[in-house]
Structure 1
Amino acid sequence: MPVLVVTGTNTEVGKTVVTAAVAATALAGGRSVAVLKAAQTGVGPDEPGDAAEVARLAGAVTTDELARYPEPLAPATAARRGRAPVHPHEIAERAAKLATEHDLVLVEGAGGLLVRFDAAGGTLADAAGLLRAPVLVVASAGLGTLNATELTVRELRGRGLDPAGVVIGSWPERPGLADRCNLLDLPDVTGAPLLGAVPEGAGRLDPPAFRAAAPHWLAPRLEGVWDAEAFHTREAPARAR
């Protein structure tokens, strides 16, 4: 997959750390990687954004950012306050150009799949459609994730897009019953494979430790060595009989 779009079911679900883990794993496999942040919000002009955080954690990736809005708002809302919007065709064109120069391009969205980028209602889903790229869904572990994740995957399929799978963006050190049940239920309700679980606090690891561990959080489809069956056996509760 030369381009992989990364979306979340909401904000603060671990999308950037998952993007960094995918990038680190690809780099460990000898691939060249670019990370495109479609629109960065809530970060000042001289502050490091999500793409810079991916590079800090993952290593030698090419970073790019199409638009930056200092206010923590949806991109279209922020653009209405006096800045130029970013449009889906611009995201697709930049990602396609990066794909001519790299083995893998990771396009990280802002918030969820249908967060609007411009006044016309353009979204990350529209950019993925233009790219004909698979979309990786980053979900939370706990209560409420089933509905949000199923809705996201349904929207992808309704648009004829490929949901590459689901990664849990922050797996708790001490998971509760809802977290553990969701390991079994997420693939059931979405029809998409669970492709990994990144441990809570992974983004606070030193970069060398992060890079060494990242392949163990992701399934082989993402070039990692995470074993879903072994993880389920260890973490998921037994089904009632």
Structure 2
Amino acid sequence: MPRFVVTGTDTGIGKTVFTAALAGALGIPYWKPIQSGLEEETDSEVVARLAGVPVLPEAYRLVTPASPHLAAEIDGVAIDPDALTPPAGDLIVEGAGGVLVPVTRTLLYADLFARWRIPVIVCARTGLGTINHSLLTIEALRARGVPIHGIAFVGDAVEDSEAIVAKIGGVRRLGRLPPIHPLTPETLAAAFAANFDLAGFT
């Protein structure tokens, strides 16, 4: 039963596009527990457009584009961690930003992942700084006993960075999603199939 959490080393690195590719390739539902910021296309809408898989409704839809803890406070919403328990069955869950992003004033995404015990895929960019960001992310997850399924890179190939993160971090290197222009369901599916072995996710 494929069940994964996809997290990132930072915000804006292509995590949602990778998540859409993975959900589409596996043909399983997608869930974003908390969406912060509703003015632009939401992550759930991106996945629905690119992957064509069932998209479960978010537990919280926050108007303010900020970290969930702050967005909730500004919007006058109290986030209940018990409402963030992933549904049963095949599922891809997407976090927000990085693993130490606060969900509330006392709870981080990494703490949620530790509760869930679902294998985590770390999504990392390939640009300058990714070694530090990726290894810090891996350490934060390991410190909480979170199972790490592997790391997926997004961007142009940077072989040394990708290899050293996997080696020093002691994680499986799942592949790299290159820049895709134009980005359509067809081009995304083709790029994922060309750069990832689906057997590594089942």
TM-score by length of 1: 0.77
Contact 1:88 1:124 survives alignment (8 Å): no
| Runs of 4 or more consecutive aligned structure 1 residues displaced over 4 Å after TM superposition | none
Task: State the shift of 1:11 in Å.
Answer: 0.3
User: Secondary structure in 1 aligned to 2:104?
Assistant: coil
Contact 1:34 1:63 survives alignment (8 Å): yes
Task: State the shift of 1:107 in Å.
Answer: 1.0
Task: State the shift of 1:195 in Å.
Answer: 0.5
In the alignment, residue 103 of structure 2 is paired with which amino acid?
Answer: F
Contact 1:41 1:75 survives alignment (8 Å): yes
Gaps of 5+ in 1: 28-32, 224-241
Cα deviation per residue 1:81-104 (whole Å; 9 max; x = unaligned)? 133143433222xx1x3x24xxx2
Quick one: distance in 1 between partners of 2:92 and 2:76?
25
Q: Specify whether residues 151 and 87 from structure 1 end up closer, same or farther in structure 2 by C-alpha distance, changes over 3 A only.
A: farther
Quick one: distance in 1 between partners of 2:191 and 2:133?
28
RMSD over aligned Cα atoms: 1.9
Contact 1:2 1:105 survives alignment (8 Å): yes
In the alignment, residue 106 of structure 1 is paired with which amino acid?
Answer: I
| 2:68 is the counterpart of 1:82 | no
1:60 counterpart (47, 53, 65): 53
Task: State the shift of 1:115 in Å.
Answer: 0.5
TM-score by length of 2: 0.90
Contact 1:139 1:166 survives alignment (8 Å): yes
Q: Specify whether residues 52 and 149 from structure 1 end up closer, same or farther in structure 2 by C-alpha distance, changes over 3 A only.
A: same
**Corresponding position of 2:179:** 200
Q: Name the stretch that deviates more: 55-64 or 142-151.
A: 55-64
Contact 1:89 1:127 survives alignment (8 Å): no
Q: Mapping of 1:1-241 within 5 angstroms? A: 1-27=1-27, 33-44=28-39, 48-92=41-85, 95=86, 97=87, 99-100=88-89, 104-119=90-105, 121-169=106-154, 171-172=155-156, 175=157, 179-201=158-180, 204-219=182-197, 220-222=199-201
Task: State the shift of 1:135 in Å.
Answer: 0.7
Task: State the shift of 1:64 in Å.
Answer: 2.2
Quick one: distance in 1 between partners of 2:80 and 2:131?
30
Structure number, greater radius of gyration: 1
Cα deviation per residue 1:73-125 (whole Å; 9 max; x = unaligned)? 11101111133143433222xx1x3x24xxx2111111101101113x21222
Cα deviation per residue 1:140-193 (whole Å; 9 max; x = unaligned)? 102111111111111111111111111012x22xx5xxx232122111221111
Task: State the shift of 1:22 in Å.
Answer: 0.7
User: Secondary structure in 2 aligned to 1:65?
Assistant: coil
Quick one: distance in 2 between partners of 1:184 and 1:3?
26
User: Secondary structure in 1 aligned to 2:13?
Assistant: coil
